[in-house]
């Protein structure tokens, strides 16, 4: 018992065991700048960055038995079953040796959210939400040039719809709990980071 991602503050007998890690969920539409800003946060605030999308793409490359299923879902902009994504996140958290995580692009829907909470018992310290108009995100994705199979106009439109239908409700869920820190993301990278820094420099950074 007591791996970093199953950690509880109290054991069954009520004894204090170990501290839960600090988790910040980083959400926003495709191309809103999550990965870009996470790299800056890592440099300045000592977090480990875990992008769910990056972990899923690495899983495809590794030749895992789930690879073909994941590849097909990403091509269609669909959300991979939580079981798969959460296992990858847990493994990456355990291997990092850190206790502060930026979980980027997760939870993407209600199933992701509820399953993560159920499996890990971790509540995010807060949710960083990059708010960006579709036209700007579309421009960025079409210029991203990372050879991604989902950065084409047809898949991009599907991803925007999935974001509206499935991901925004998760942001609204956390907003109702007072956990959302919204950032205007359609500004130059350094200006966006000034707003991000202000959030990580205050008491917001603390768990709870
Ligand atoms: P996400 O992880 O949210 O999908 P990325 O961080 O990969 O987004 O950014 C998408 C693309 O837009 C990348 O090519 C990145 O360099 C660029 N980009 C990120 N932030 C900005 C910004 N504030 N202004 C202009 N381009 C940006
Ligand atoms: O966040 P990113 O843009 O890298 O995600 C790319 C794709 O990975 C998503 O469109 C989706 O198909 C898949 N994904 C997922 N579940 C997540 C995060 C990403 O299925 N929680
Ligand atoms: Mg990204």
Q: What is the pTM of this model?
A: 0.93
Q: How far is CA 1 from CA 11, 96, 102, 116, 118, in A?
A: 9, 18, 24, 18, 16
pLDDT above 80 (res 136) = yes
Q: Which residues line ligand 1 (CB under 6 A)?
A: 28, 30-36, 140, 144, 188-189, 192
- The model's pLDDT over 112-130, given as tens digits with 9 standing for 90+, comes to 999 999 999 999 999 999 9
Q: What is the domain partition of the chain in residue ranges? A: 22-50+101-198
Query: For atom 2 of ligand 2, which residue has the closest CA?
Result: 53
pLDDT above 60 (res 35) = yes
Give the CATH fold of the 22-50+101-198 domain: Rossmann fold (3.40.50)
Give the mutation target among 30, 32, 34, 36 for probing the ligand 1 site: most ligand atoms within 8 A of CB: 36
- The model's pLDDT over 74-111, given as tens digits with 9 standing for 90+, comes to 999 999 999 999 999 999 999 999 999 999 999 999 99
Query: For atom 8 of ligand 2, which residue has the closest CA?
Result: 53
Dist. CA 42–CA 81, nearest whole Å: 28
């Amino acid at each position: 018992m007591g791996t970093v991602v199953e950690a509880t503050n109290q054991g069954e007998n009520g004894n204090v065991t170990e501290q839960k890690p600090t988790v910040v969920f980083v959400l926003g539409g495709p191309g809103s700048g999550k990965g870009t800003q996470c790299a800056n946060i890592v440099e300045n605030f000592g977090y480990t960055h875990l992008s769910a999308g990056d972990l899923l793409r690495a899983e495809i490359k590794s030749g895992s038995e789930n690879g073909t299923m994941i590849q097909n879902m990403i091509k269609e902009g669909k959300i991979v079953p939580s079981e798969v994504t959460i296992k990858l996140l847990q493994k990456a958290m355990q291997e990092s040796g850190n206790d502060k995580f930026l979980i980027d692009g997760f939870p993407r829907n209600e199933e992701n959210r509820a399953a993560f909470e159920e499996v890990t018992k971790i509540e995010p310290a807060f949710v960083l939400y990059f708010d960006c108009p579709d036209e700007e995100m579309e421009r960025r994705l079409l210029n991203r040039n990372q050879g991604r199979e989902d950065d084409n106009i047809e898949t991009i439109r599907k991803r925007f719809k999935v974001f509206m239908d499935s991901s925004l409700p998760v942001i609204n869920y956390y907003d109702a709990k007072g956990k959302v820190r919204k950032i205007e993301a359609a500004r130059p990278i350094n200006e966006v980071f000034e707003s991000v820094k202000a959030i990580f420099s205050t008491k917001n950074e603390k768990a709870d």
